[in-house]
Structure 1
Amino acid sequence: MGRKHAADIAAPSRHGQGAEQVAATAGPPTGRASCCRSWPALPLDNGHDHVGAVMTSADRSAVQLTHPDRVYWADAGVTKADLADYYAKAWPRMAPFVTNRPLALLRCPEGTAGQCFFQKHAWRGHAREVLTVQDPNDNSEEPILAIDSFDGVIGLVQGAALEIHPWQAALADLEHPDQIVMDLDPGEGITWQDLIDGALEVRTRLEKAGLQTFVKTTGGKGIHVVAPLKPVTGWNEVKEFTKAIADDMASDSPDRYVATITKSKRVGHILIDYLRNQRGATAIAPYASRARAGAPVSMPLDWDELGPSIGPAHFTVNNAANRFGMTDPWKDFRKAEVALKLR
């Protein structure tokens, strides 16, 4: 049997509560004795402004990792414990983008070499720090998943969640998205520079609409352009706004862009995927790992960094922590939110 790791602080589990109730009651973890190794999250008093995070050097995960040496990415030599270590370092910056919002997961119990599958609902035996929340609009009555603490993300690691995909809305208000994600997905024959040029055009169009934009690699082939919103506009209006951006780009430059997901039309084109901006849709979280070769992660960038020296899968579980001593390019993300002005 594999070794077990545990730690000092446990987050309460609130299975089956409504979304607004979990969001309202989310708070710091409560103490619990430890027996083995712990995963400390980086302290916030190191001179760097981490967006909205509340972790301190005393925080630990109470989640026990069974078989911590299980290999999740054989080609990169990354184990379950390595992924937990990475998230401990990333947590102060990652927390605001994954806590207290619905999550979809890509789980790979045998690592990337085995079968992977998407999971949007609770599963038998998940860590109690992984919360279950009832979506009032889901007639299936199957609870959706969420986390509200560092314990939660380590619970996801224990559950072999190699990808974390949040909604574009918080549990406190599921009917009003608080961000837009424009996903630029390259078709065959598209270069990285083509993709960069497309991201810059999306940026220009969103900023003309009064939105401030942020950019990140996806850890896959694409680029995400993200704009924070005040959560006052409904899903239908946000989807129609983003569809109009994508349609306009495809209409203005039909040789470069498409706005439909039909694969036959995507060769030599960039798909401007606006469908991330509808109720229940998700996008890979900032700093989250991807179940792809090399253990890449989705990395927030400064717009000035977007260039040929940083490719789509440049940052990995093994090297991404080198950035955490640098200024956070997304530190003002929430400060930049504005109400969407509809056309």
Structure 2
Amino acid sequence: MPATLKGTITIDGQEITVTNPEKPLWPEMGITKRIYLQKLAALSPYLLSYCRNRLLTVIRYPHGVPGMSFYQKNAPQPRPEYVKTAVQDGIEYIVLHGLPELLWLGNLAALEFHPSLHYAGSSLPCEWMIDLDPSLEVEPRIMEAAALVGDVLKSLGLSSVPKTSGATGVQIIVPVQQGITFEELRKTGHFIGRYVTEKRPDLFTLERLKKHRGDKIYFDYLQHYGGKTLAAPYTPRARPGATVSTPLLWEEVARNVSPLDYHLLNIEERLNRTGDLIAMVAPQPVGEIAAKLP
């Protein structure tokens, strides 16, 4: 990426217009649009792995954080010819392929990337993502909850990777073998969710309505349907601290790391050390477990 971003830049042969490069996007962190685009480019080899060829929803903050925001499902107009789209359920989604589209969205102040859990044109999941959603804005037990779920998965013979949501929660990702269905993931998730809520009713709940959860952590096994989205691994989040949704080592979970530890200003150094932790886990035989459940 060039050191100065004014007017246009050329990436992979595509010309991208950059407007207001010094606009503050995370003012308290000193992150301008120029810095954001540089960090987005550094994240792109990782972020694109989990957004490419999927139906993309972004959250845009035209005036930066904590200004007004809006979800954008339909691809905006006008848009460059290199930005490809796909239609599902009457919505024309952006389908990312490379860095030019990512930076074009970054220039539009798209600060969060929420891809579908399946590829465009497919009805099968790409991975299994268990969402642990705290009811409290600050939840000191979230890593304890993640470790318990990880232990249950391990007892079933499944390897998994925890990741911070970049907000308050944690997701646990299980790479899956091709051919498993969303129904099988929901079935297996319900089984594990019932187990952990019975084992630790003080910590977990399956209650969908937040107002009825008290201080418990919601084990969301119902997220897995076509068209549903979750924050992508490695997406920035429009939160104080410019946090990034970051895959973790289970050893880090045991040390009770904070989701606030990983942000746009230090994520590049971390990824240079760890690489993509999700890509290091082979597809897991979740379907074999689902087949044994009633």
Amino acid at match of 1:314: D
Distance 1:328 1:281, change over 3 A: same
8 Å contact 1:218–1:298 — kept in the other structure?
yes
Taking the aligned partners of 1:73 and 1:262, their CA distance within structure 2 comes to 31
User: Which residue among 170, 175, 181 is the counterpart of 2:129?
Assistant: 181
Please state if 1:145 is matched with 2:94.
Answer: yes
Give 1:106 deviation, angstroms.
Answer: 0.9
Aligned residue in 1 for 2:189: 242
- When structure 1 is superposed on structure 2, of 94-103 and 123-132 the one drifting more is 123-132
Specify which structure has the higher proportion of helix: 2
Question: Which consecutive unaligned segments of at least 5 residues does structure 1 have?
Answer: 10-30, 33-61
Percent identity of paired positions between Structure 1 and Structure 2: 26
Aligned residue in 1 for 2:106: 157
Give 1:258 deviation, angstroms.
Answer: 0.5
Question: Which consecutive unaligned segments of at least 5 residues does structure 2 have?
Answer: none
User: Which residue among 238, 255, 268 is the counterpart of 1:291?
Assistant: 238
SS of the residue corresponding to residue 99 of structure 1 reads coil
8 Å contact 2:147–2:253 — kept in the other structure?
no
Distance 1:74 1:259, change over 3 A: same
Aligned residue in 2 for 1:93: 46
So what's the TM-score if we normalise by structure 1? 0.77
- After TM superposition, what 4+ stretches of structure 1 lie above 6 angstroms from structure 2? none
Specify which structure has the higher proportion of strand: 2
Aligned residue in 1 for 2:10: 7
User: Which residue among 247, 263, 272 is the counterpart of 1:316?
Assistant: 263
Aligned residue in 2 for 1:200: 147
Give 1:116 deviation, angstroms.
Answer: 0.7
- When structure 1 is superposed on structure 2, of 95-104 and 247-256 the one drifting more is 247-256
8 Å contact 1:100–1:147 — kept in the other structure?
yes
So what's the TM-score if we normalise by structure 2? 0.89
Taking the aligned partners of 1:226 and 1:331, their CA distance within structure 2 comes to 8
Distance 1:188 1:327, change over 3 A: closer
Give 1:266 deviation, angstroms.
Answer: 2.3
SS of the residue corresponding to residue 287 of structure 2 reads coil
Aligned residue in 2 for 1:106: 59
Taking the aligned partners of 1:220 and 1:183, their CA distance within structure 2 comes to 12
The number of equivalent residue pairs is: 286
8 Å contact 1:103–1:164 — kept in the other structure?
yes
8 Å contact 1:107–1:163 — kept in the other structure?
yes
**1:142-195 Cα distance to aligned partner (Å, 9 max, x none):** 312220111121121022111001122123x52110211111122238743x21
Aligned residue in 1 for 2:68: 115
Taking the aligned partners of 1:338 and 1:103, their CA distance within structure 2 comes to 27
Amino acid at match of 1:175: S
